[in-house]
Structure 1
Amino acid sequence: MKKLSMHHRDEIYKDMKTTSLDILVIGGGITGAGILLDTVSRGLKGALIDMQDFGAGTSSRSTKLVHGGLRYLKQLEIKMVSEVGKERAIVYENAPHVTRPEWMLLPIYKGGTFGKFSTNLGLWFYDYLAGVKKEERRKMLTIEETLTKEPLLKKEWLKGSGYYVEYKTDDARLTLEVIKKAVALGGNALNYAKVIELLYEEGRVVGIVVEDQLNGEMHRIYANKIINATGPWVDQIREFDKSKGGKTLHLTKGVHLVFSQKRFPLNQAIYFDTPDGRMVFAIPRSGKTYVGTTDTSYDASIKDPRMTKDDLNYLIKAVNYMFPSIELTENDVESSWVGLRPLIHEDGKSPSQISRKDEIFNSDSGLISMAGGKLTGYRKMAENVVDLISKDLGHNIDKSRTKYMTLSGGEVGGSKGFEIFLEDKINQGISYGLSHQQSKELVYRYGSNVDNVLSEYRKFQTLKEGIDPFIFAMLRYGIDNEMICTPSDFFIRRSSALFFNIDFVNKHKDSVISFMSDEFQWTIEEKEKHNEELLRDIYYTKQPVE
């Protein structure tokens, strides 16, 4: 079985170059990951490359919800709500360790976006369209029941609330689990591999030139079909292809702020009105509360989007409006992240009004580009695009098999079996010397792959000096199975620590960098470069750009 190992990069390049690939995906976010899995699960030869780490763009910077988009009912996007609503349950069953139900409170205020009748009707319709199972269907709560659920809510003009289920996830790890499953089925994937040129024969795109971002080496990789699933970078690849005519992307920016639960002790996930009539989430998670998102047009750096003072003030004002007793200030922000949405431009529409539907562009050269869409619908998007190009590949191709396909780490007996699995593995971790919290964290992060991490912990807990064995176990597993290449890969995409446990990052960053430097035999200059990159990422989470 193939492994997504940092130490196998040369072998992976060789395999990509010598295999007769059916499909080559540019872009290692959730869309590209889904396409790779759909490809190889049908018996086709597939590969994927990304110029950054897997999920480093939009797919690690979302609101971290696998949700159906209740607000899209208001825009009458019935088909999209129905499709992605049903996909929520599929994602949950296939990866219950990184996706789980979250009851959401939708407070109803006099003069607010949703009235009592419209909320009741909307949530009922939402349940119907999404095929929500009985125990997760919406409830309508009184004022008293609402305030019992969340005492911090503004009491003035409160009329009650709707109570319904969404699904929270770790978006970066969900992306990674999809890629790992694809690799286990015979696919290939590489991060830090940047496309610098498209290759053509008789006007048809047949390959790419890749520059490895770690060592500068150049590689030529060929495939029957090339799919551009680069999210915010879709139009840049289309420019390489000279096919950026017609519809183009409209990038919008979404900012999220993270607060300590000590400062913002939220009991209950809330979906609430802002003073300007938008809707924002406030969600408790891992001892923190995070709030988001903004929705504004964006035209600055795609690689390093930053929040502004206006973004910061907007979200703090929204929180203090709905939770007036806590009186947050910008000094209370522990961390933040900024994501870009690659939407399809629509004349005359504001960022919040632009449809989140996905779209496929097929250029004269044969380059396929995908844009738009939501994290929740990644599996169906992948199925659709592989269906579309199957005839062009020239042989009989099976239908998609991913609907009931367990992702990497998901072999836990489905959502019902996960609770038993969780308890068993927590007890096992405790017996090895881990705390209850550490054991729980590992199970939610790695699912059925946790045995490999626990094995590393036991093997090295007394042998490795200078680094905590808990950290070492995750690093060792991540380097060998999740292609960790940089400290930022570990602290951001593999563990989410930069967002939800900044103290953990500050405490362990030096030992992690030293370990990785020894592991990869970095020069002094390379070690300093990676240290500066991590320090920059830490700085960006705290400081808005003026």
Structure 2
Amino acid sequence: METEFNPDRPADLTPAYRNEAWRRLGSEQFDIVVVGGGVVGVGAALDAATRGLRVALVEARDIASGTSSRSSKMFHGGLRYLEQLEFGLVREALHERELSLRLLAPHLVKPLPFLYPLTRRIWERPYVAAGLFLYDRMGGAKSVPGQRHVSRSGALRVAPGLKRRALIGGIRYYDTVVDDARHSLTLARTASNYGAVIRTSTQAVGFLTEADRIKGVKVRDSETGETTEVKAHCVINAGGVWTDEVQALSKQRGHFTVRASKGVHIVVPRDRIVSESAIILRTANSVLFVIPWETHWIIGTTDTDWNLDLAHPAATRKDIDYILDRVNTELVTALTHDDIEGVYAGLRPLLAGEDEGTSTLSREHAVAVVAPGLVSIAGGKYTTYRVMGADAIDACIDYLPSRVASSITERVPLVGADGYFALINQCEHLGQRFDLHPYRIRRLLNRYGSMFDDVLHFSDEDPSLLRPLAAAPQYLRAEIVYAVAVEGALHLEDVLARRTRIAIEYSHRGVDCAVEVAELMAPYLGWDEADAAQEVATYTARVEAEIASQRQPDDESADALRAAAPEARAEILEPVPVPD
């Protein structure tokens, strides 16, 4: 299905936009090129674009295809970092959480009540209460309620699924929940809306140099193998766990190194745990979150060192057993492997420190000028992406030819935020207008905000798009078309794992709806029957490899199985080895 680039709708990442973006990458002079399409990269691109800079962003795979789609799904204030005395980080995170909750992304970032079960008499309640008091005073209770103490009976009324003997009382407080992949994608679309050139499946394979200056990047299309050169006054390395690999392309020694820490989560049906609130549980080294996710619970995370394939971190049987064993010490009805609908593993990009434990490495971020015209940024938390993006752009200022305005992203709502609160109050009327249940309208609003009617617009010519997917009925067929026609999805994996979360929300992991989804995508990407069949086969192989890896006892055997699955992006290159 042929489309034309529409300059009046720059936030639409259409197939035609992608073609135009490739032309612009090879023909224009940019102020800044960002390498990496995680939340920090797209946040930096938005910051640059809203300062009036000419900015491009390239991502080897898909927006949020790495760490930024595999988090605990929280835009959280970092309560546990108070115990590590990282007061500045907590204050900063709470400020950013409040901005997103109230102004920047209210359609995506939602308040979430938590129960903190108390297990120790005498000292624990005042100890935790003091921490939460500080948390609330730092900004944790601006637009959500502050802490509230409950007895054992009160805690069990909130969470009847907890064992009575597992707690002596509890404290309730608030944090937030977010679909991380959708949030990162929305940031990318917002950056594009303000003029940034966003292109996925575009891998940085080298740097352009002039004397001792970095003057741009050489990029390679991960779909076709075609290459071009992108000229820029400054390049930002926002590669996350790939920071060192991108750094190696410049043949310059970095000012810091990044260490990958693997975090694994499991997804179980909502009816397996009876609770009206999220739950936070202490572990020997960290905490375990039990987070409501529509009709599911997400439980995690682990925190272990990872030195294997960065693109496809693998969960092991040991990781899953650890989560089950810890949560089952608290639950009346124990969870089993048969209850698990989804599993995902992600890598945190931590700044390498002296301590060997990844749970104690710094969650703060660092920015460094590695060479004239090359800035690296790494570390940090998902919640503080906006601050990180602004800091990265500030570090580029000396290499830009004209005066640069200050960051204004704290006043720039993301696309879809405008009018969201009013639309939520109109769900009943909107449901009648579109002949959909108000629940369905509310769900669309919480995924697309005020752009929800753009999704439904595709049903004007094809009313069947208002039907749900046969094997994933939480999602309308129109959402699949929108993902590929407007949101830049290029492969089944992009749609099933990130534009939707079918890959973790259904026990079939997306395999049972892969054919239907491929048929919906095909006209917009020019796939014939053979192309669609290949996409289904590649995705199925990915799922089979993931499931097989999750039965393995250790990282090495799990990694070997997962890494053997075929890549959807056939022309992507292995990263340059990092020199010792």
From 122, 132, 156, the equivalent of 1:147 is 156
Report % sequence identity: 29
Report how far residue 434 of structure 1 moved: 2.6
| Matches of 2:423 and 2:193, distance apart in 1 | 22
Can you list the C-alpha shifts for 1:27-66, whole angstroms capped at 9, x where unaligned?
0110001000000001111110100110000000000100
Q: Which amino acid aligns with 1:294?
A: T
Distance 1:72 1:517, change over 3 A: same
| Matches of 1:30 and 1:359, distance apart in 2 | 15
For the 8 Å contact 1:335–1:541, the answer to whether it is kept is: no
| Matches of 1:129 and 1:399, distance apart in 2 | 25
Report how far residue 506 of structure 1 moved: 4.2
Distance 1:426 1:46, change over 3 A: farther
1:400 is aligned to 2:410 = no
| Matches of 1:90 and 1:467, distance apart in 2 | 35
Report how far residue 541 of structure 1 moved: 5.3
Distance 1:462 1:353, change over 3 A: closer
TM-score normalised by length of structure 2: 0.88
For the 8 Å contact 1:426–1:443, the answer to whether it is kept is: no
Corresponding residue number in structure 1 for 2:341: 334
For the 8 Å contact 1:430–1:439, the answer to whether it is kept is: no
Q: Indicate the RMSD between aligned Cα atoms, in angstroms.
A: 2.3
From 103, 106, 111, the equivalent of 1:101 is 111
Corresponding residue number in structure 1 for 2:494: 489
Structure 2 residue matching 1:301: 3-state secondary structure = coil
Corresponding residue number in structure 2 for 1:7: 16
| Matches of 1:465 and 1:111, distance apart in 2 | 54
For the 8 Å contact 1:90–1:403, the answer to whether it is kept is: yes
Report how far residue 222 of structure 1 moved: 1.0
Structure 2 residue matching 1:255: 3-state secondary structure = strand
Q: Which amino acid aligns with 2:484?
A: I
From 320, 323, 328, the equivalent of 2:328 is 320
From 365, 368, 376, the equivalent of 1:369 is 376
Structure 1 residue matching 2:394: 3-state secondary structure = helix
Question: What does 1:432-511 correspond to in 2, within 5 Å?
Answer: 432-461=434-463, 471-502=476-507, 505-511=510-516
From 335, 356, 364, the equivalent of 1:357 is 364
Distance 1:464 1:289, change over 3 A: closer
For the 8 Å contact 1:104–1:270, the answer to whether it is kept is: yes
Distance 1:88 1:134, change over 3 A: closer
| Matches of 1:465 and 1:60, distance apart in 2 | 27
Report how far residue 24 of structure 1 moved: 0.5
Can you list the C-alpha shifts for 1:473-499, whole angstroms capped at 9, x where unaligned?
213322232111111111111111212
Distance 1:14 1:289, change over 3 A: same
Structure 2 residue matching 1:216: 3-state secondary structure = coil
For the 8 Å contact 1:205–1:365, the answer to whether it is kept is: yes
Corresponding residue number in structure 2 for 1:311: 319
Corresponding residue number in structure 1 for 2:562: none
Q: Which amino acid aligns with 2:171?
A: G
For the 8 Å contact 1:457–1:473, the answer to whether it is kept is: yes
From 76, 95, 99, the equivalent of 1:86 is 95
Report how far residue 213 of structure 1 moved: 1.2
| Matches of 1:280 and 1:435, distance apart in 2 | 35
Structure 2 residue matching 1:411: 3-state secondary structure = coil
| Matches of 1:82 and 1:132, distance apart in 2 | 12
Identify the range of structure 1 (200-209 vs 97-106) with the bigger mean alpha-carbon deviation.
200-209
Corresponding residue number in structure 2 for 1:531: 536
Distance 1:407 1:377, change over 3 A: same
Report how far residue 205 of structure 1 moved: 1.2
Can you list the C-alpha shifts for 1:192-248, whole angstroms capped at 9, x where unaligned?
111111111112111211111112211211111100101110000111112244531
Q: Which amino acid aligns with 1:10?
A: N
Question: What does 1:202-213 correspond to in 2, within 5 Å?
Answer: 202-213=211-222
Report how far residue 273 of structure 1 moved: 1.7
Question: What does 1:188-199 correspond to in 2, within 5 Å?
Answer: 188-199=197-208
Structure 1 residue matching 2:31: 3-state secondary structure = strand
For the 8 Å contact 1:241–1:365, the answer to whether it is kept is: no
For the 8 Å contact 1:101–1:168, the answer to whether it is kept is: yes
Question: What does 1:269-280 correspond to in 2, within 5 Å?
Answer: 269-274=278-283, 276-280=284-288
For the 8 Å contact 1:81–1:130, the answer to whether it is kept is: no
From 248, 267, 270, the equivalent of 1:261 is 270
Report how far residue 142 of structure 1 moved: 1.7
| Matches of 1:4 and 1:30, distance apart in 2 | 17
Q: Which amino acid aligns with 2:286?
A: R
Report how far residue 154 of structure 1 moved: 2.7
Q: Which amino acid aligns with 1:286?
A: E
Can you list the C-alpha shifts for 1:226-274, whole angstroms capped at 9, x where unaligned?
0010111000011111224453111100000001123334432001123
Structure 1 residue matching 2:450: 3-state secondary structure = helix
Corresponding residue number in structure 2 for 1:412: 419
Q: How many residues align?
A: 538
Corresponding residue number in structure 2 for 1:23: 32
For the 8 Å contact 1:265–1:289, the answer to whether it is kept is: no
For the 8 Å contact 2:29–2:230, the answer to whether it is kept is: no
Corresponding residue number in structure 1 for 2:289: 281
Corresponding residue number in structure 1 for 2:300: 292
Q: Which amino acid aligns with 1:486?
A: H
Identify the range of structure 1 (469-478 vs 264-273) with the bigger mean alpha-carbon deviation.
469-478
Can you list the C-alpha shifts for 1:335-371, whole angstroms capped at 9, x where unaligned?
0111100101112331111110001121124311111
Structure 1: where are the runs of 5+ without partners?
Answer: none
Distance 1:308 1:95, change over 3 A: same
Corresponding residue number in structure 2 for 1:389: 396
| Matches of 1:27 and 1:447, distance apart in 2 | 26
Distance 1:313 1:66, change over 3 A: same
TM-score normalised by length of structure 1: 0.93
Distance 1:502 1:452, change over 3 A: farther
Report how far residue 467 of structure 1 moved: 7.6
Q: Which amino acid aligns with 1:333?
A: I
Corresponding residue number in structure 2 for 1:183: 192
Report how far residue 143 of structure 1 moved: 1.6
Report how far residue 20 of structure 1 moved: 1.9
For the 8 Å contact 1:82–1:129, the answer to whether it is kept is: yes
Report how far residue 430 of structure 1 moved: 4.6
Corresponding residue number in structure 2 for 1:429: 431
Q: Which amino acid aligns with 2:70?
A: R
For the 8 Å contact 1:195–1:209, the answer to whether it is kept is: yes
Report how far residue 137 of structure 1 moved: 1.5
Report how far residue 96 of structure 1 moved: 0.9
For the 8 Å contact 2:355–2:361, the answer to whether it is kept is: no
Q: Which amino acid aligns with 2:266?
A: L
For the 8 Å contact 1:334–1:542, the answer to whether it is kept is: no
Identify the range of structure 1 (212-221 vs 387-396) with the bigger mean alpha-carbon deviation.
387-396
Structure 1 residue matching 2:353: 3-state secondary structure = coil
Distance 1:131 1:505, change over 3 A: closer
| Matches of 2:163 and 2:465, distance apart in 1 | 54
Corresponding residue number in structure 2 for 1:129: 138
| Matches of 1:463 and 1:107, distance apart in 2 | 45
| Matches of 1:248 and 1:110, distance apart in 2 | 39
For the 8 Å contact 1:60–1:172, the answer to whether it is kept is: yes
